[in-house]
Chain A
Amino acid sequence: MRPVDVLYTPESVASLDYARDLGDPGSFPYTRGLHATGYRGRLWTMRQFAGYGTPEEANERYRRLLEAGGTGLSVAFDLPTLMGRDPDHELSHGEVGKCGVSVASADDMDALLAGIDPGAVSTSMTINSPAAMLLAMYLVVAEGRGVAWDRLNGTLQNDILKEFIAQKEFIYPPRPSIRLVTDVFAFCARHVPRWNTISVSGYHIREAGASAAQELAFTLRSGIEYVQAGIDAGLDVDDFAPRISFFFNAHSDFFEEIAKYRAARRIWARVMTERFKARDPRSWRLRFHAQTAGVTLTAQQPYNNVVRTALQAMSAVLGGTQSLHTNALDEALALPTEGAATRALRTQQILAHETGLAGVVDPLGGSYFVERLTRDVEDEAMAYVEAIDGMGGMVAAIEQGYPQRAIAESAYRYQRAVEAREQVVVGVNALADDHRSPIETLSVDETAETRQRERLEALRARRDGGAVRRTLDAIGAAAVAGDNLMPRLVEAGRAGATVGEMCDALRDVWGEYVEDPII
């Protein structure tokens, strides 16, 4: 927990200038929110991250979430897909369909979206190293169903920097990885204009152990790196910056989290106007998704997790999130059962409809405490941003191990505070029960792997192998020539190439990244 004073007074915020530092909701610098009418104009999107097994199984879960009142899809891919390996690769053994759904081809993507109109839903895809490949698969499916690309709504996580910083699902070295990101920016600006081309993510940075200020700083500094990369690639800032979105953690220190979201909007508005001279107000507005903190879920007394999640979700709503995922109570043990996933969705529906939280915009604006905290979190974050600027940017900082080391230190410090009971975790280091009350958990069907391998074998037998080879060669050639890779990936997707094959085509050119671990 952040140390705080017992009382905050007008003196705590004496230097605050309403017009300069806050502004009304919908006005620069957007500290109080992006929209003048807050959630009255439009409620946040209830977007529950889900997926496991084969595309058919995941499709069933999505359809049920939509029927239960969910308002957007959020696809969790399995580890082989996230790492750009096909289900029949040796490293995929035992992991196909386990942590998410296995999607290896445009065919799989089509099955994933069976009965769901890509022109009518917004689809968020949590995918990073192979983000461009999975976007290509999605575009091929839309095309096949006669849905024009300019009607598509969705988000590609596509944030490779936080993989090097925290989540570690990288394939290629940082610099060519960033080029894939800017290729998506440029391609979507022309062909898929409503798509959110990146979700710059603090979530995983926080889960890895970062403090709130570190989460904010590393995320926004990554955002700066991507904007600069887009400009360096010859794009006009206002052509791609409005499609940049963010993703933050909703952790347990209630007021600090609210301050973090408010500070995020203020910092980004200033960065975009002052540092990048963006002229389009849409480039100034930091839109974000929030997810409650998985790392705070406990295996002990699992029903307590419902309460933790509700409070974390409440901080995200009070901080003005655009969309929200609430975790299920059993996720310290396994992927959620359907019942637990539904209860998680109900948790945010209760916040939306029963509590009055959505009635007033930025209800905590003007609180001496929250305004002071917003400024403190902003100042702490900006100190990190400046330190990283001094190192030559985020890629350089990553190469020096700076954010990785800072996160490892914070994680260890937190764990020691828990051991010393300076940080109480109810049911874990205090107020523990002697007996564990077992709860039912989901077990993923072990046959998913076999079925996905069989599907893939059938696809390889059915498609025109020569045509696939030519599209894969064209990917490699475009990588060498420095041409935008997206058109080549779409062609390969149409021809029936797999995610693993597309990724291999680029592995051949760029090689693979091996990290030097920092403890």
Chain B
Amino acid sequence: MGTTIRVVIAKPGLDGHDRGAKVIARALRDAGMEVIYTGLRQTPEQIVVAALQEDADVIGLSILSGAHMHICPRVVELLRAQGLDDVLVVVGGIIPDADVPRLNTLGIQGIFPPGTPMQEIVDFIHRHARTRVGA
């Protein structure tokens, strides 16, 4: 018996800069999580479908394009509509300080700008992901 956290890492929007998404995917995997990387250019709908199909506990969004204030609310809204309120959403990328309070009010607390240590993200997910007993 053990608990394995399942994480969907997604690159929404048209941007292709995937260094951060891939490094984090690998770091979470090395930290013992199960990681599904969606690949590039996923719509919020596709991301939420992936989370549903993969029974994800966490969705990690990597956004560097400035489109986070369009994408994040949509992902949260779709998760609620699917009854997946307990899926933890975290965001990494270029997120100006001014947008942080608005993301917080959406329920997104894990916001990781450039320079965030990988361990900090691992720890955050361990602390905040829903807990369950693994198969």
Which residues of A approach B to under 8 Å, CB–CB? Answer: 79-80, 82-83, 85, 91-95, 98-99, 163, 167-170, 207-209, 295, 297-300, 332-335, 408, 411-412, 415, 418-419, 425, 428-429, 436, 438, 441, 443-444, 515-519
Contact = CB atoms under 8 A, between A and B. Distances in A.
A82 B14 contact: yes
Nearest to A167: B16
Contacts of B1: none
Give the 5 A-B residue pairs with the shortest CB-CB distance, closest first. A168-B16, A94-B70, A79-B14, A98-B66, A94-B67
B50 to A, nearest CB: 13
Given A79-B15, A167-B16, 14 more contacts: A83-B14, A94-B67, A163-B16, A208-B19, A209-B19, A209-B23, A300-B115, A334-B66, A415-B23, A418-B117, A441-B97, A517-B39, A517-B40, A519-B25
A428 B119 CA distance: 13
B34 interface: no
A518 B19 CA distance: 11
Contact of B16 (A94, A169, A441): A169
B17 interface: yes
A332 B14 contact: no
Contact of B97 (A79, A95, A438, A518): A438
What's the interface size class on B, roughly? Answer: 20 to 34
B22 interface: yes
A515 B40 contact: yes
Nearest to B41: A91
Given A95-B65, A419-B117, A438-B97, A411 B22 contact: yes
Nearest to A208: B19
Interface of B: 13-19, 22-23, 25-27, 29, 37, 39-41, 43, 65-67, 69-71, 94, 96-98, 113-115, 117-119
A77 to B, nearest CB: 11
A167 B74 CA distance: 26
A83 B71 CA distance: 18
Given A80-B14, A333-B97, A299 B114 contact: yes
Contacts, number: 108
A519 B14 contact: no
Given A299-B115, A415-B27, A408 B94 contact: no
A334 B96 contact: yes
B27 to A, nearest CB: 7
A93 B27 contact: no
Given A168-B40, A415-B27, A519-B37, A207 B19 contact: yes
A99 B15 contact: yes
Contacts of A518: 22
A458 B118 CA distance: 48
A516 B18 CA distance: 13
**Residue of A80, A92, A98, A516 with most chain B CB atoms under a 10 A cut-off:** A98
**Residue of A83, A208, A299, A515 with most chain B CB atoms under a 10 A cut-off:** A299
19 contacts: A79-B15, A91-B14, A92-B14, A95-B13, A95-B14, A98-B65, A98-B66, A168-B40, A169-B14, A208-B17, A209-B23, A335-B66, A412-B26, A419-B118, A441-B98, A517-B37, A518-B22, A519-B22, A519-B26
